[in-house]
Amino acid sequence: MIIKIRDSRTTFYRLISLIGLFISFFNTIAYAATDDQLSSIKHTAESFIQAQIELPKSGTMTIEAARIDSRIYATDCPIPLSASLPGRLNTSGNTSVLIECQPDDWKVYVPVKTELMMPLVTALSSLSKGHSISSNDLTLTLVNSRTYRRGGYANPNELIGSRIKRSVRAGDVVEKNDICMVCRNDSVIIKAEKGELSILTKGTALGDGALGDKVNVKNDKSKRIVSGIVTAVGEISIRF
């Protein structure tokens, strides 16, 4: 009789467990998000990321939200879904977007993958040290911003007349450290500016520099050494 009681209890507990599993299963089905709800969540996340990133001229960007588990709780929200950025925005990589329906009190984090391709100046052929760049040497190529984070250029015309400081292979991005727009001992134009007044004079560069670099230059007339910013090939600007 004791063995029979134990067997009955075991059977009873197993039956209760099975009933619990069925209830849990049917509850999951009842509250699972519909395809339309999942689509709305993904679209909201992708549109939010697209609005956060300024697309470079002639650049391209792909945005794709990750697949969302259909077992999440969601409703047909009575107001437009809200989106926010709980962490850092990644222009090429994964970013987590928080999607919320405040009236119905639910939220979900959606991973969104972005890939930003930006146009950068690349070499059409190998460029050796000392070479003076012409328009035939350069082209624009779309480069993944995630894999390229160094100083490149978006406008080939800015580099025409620059000299190569270190060799560049065909297909490589022409970087800031590869060139000098103003090179040591070069004759340059010194543009002295004060308000709307601009005075041009000639000088000699005392160092190498690319766009935006600070370079010392000697005024050929006064022999005075001043410091200015490289603003173009063969040009240094000084503001007073």
3-state SS record for 78-90: CCCCEEECCCCCC
d(CA 108, CA 119): 35
In the predicted model, is pLDDT for residue 15 greater than 80? no
CATH number of the domain that 197 lies in? Answer: 2.30.30.760
Q: Check if the beta carbon of residue 160 is closer than 8 Å to that of residue 134.
A: yes
In a domain, 44, yes or no: yes
Mean pLDDT over 231-235 rounds to 95
In a domain, 8, yes or no: no
Q: Are residues 39 and 110 in the same domain?
A: yes
Residues 112-161 have pLDDT tens digits of 999 989 899 999 999 999 999 999 999 999 998 776 767 789 899 999 99
Residues 90-124 have pLDDT tens digits of 888 899 999 999 999 999 999 999 998 989 999 99
**Which pLDDT belongs to residue 23?**
35
Domain boundary among the residues 92, 116, 140 is at: 116
d(CA 9, CA 192): 97
Q: Are residues 42 and 69 in the same domain?
A: yes
Domain boundary among the residues 180, 195, 222 is at: 180
Containing structural domain, residue 165? 118-180
d(CA 180, CA 211): 8
Mean pLDDT over 34-59 rounds to 92
In a domain, 103, yes or no: yes
In angstroms, the first-to-last Cα distance of the chain is 106
Our count of domains for the chain comes to 3
Q: Are residues 57 and 108 in the same domain?
A: yes
**Which pLDDT belongs to residue 152?**
87
CATH number of the domain that 156 lies in? Answer: 3.90.1210.10
In a domain, 49, yes or no: yes
- Which is more confident, 237 or 31? 237
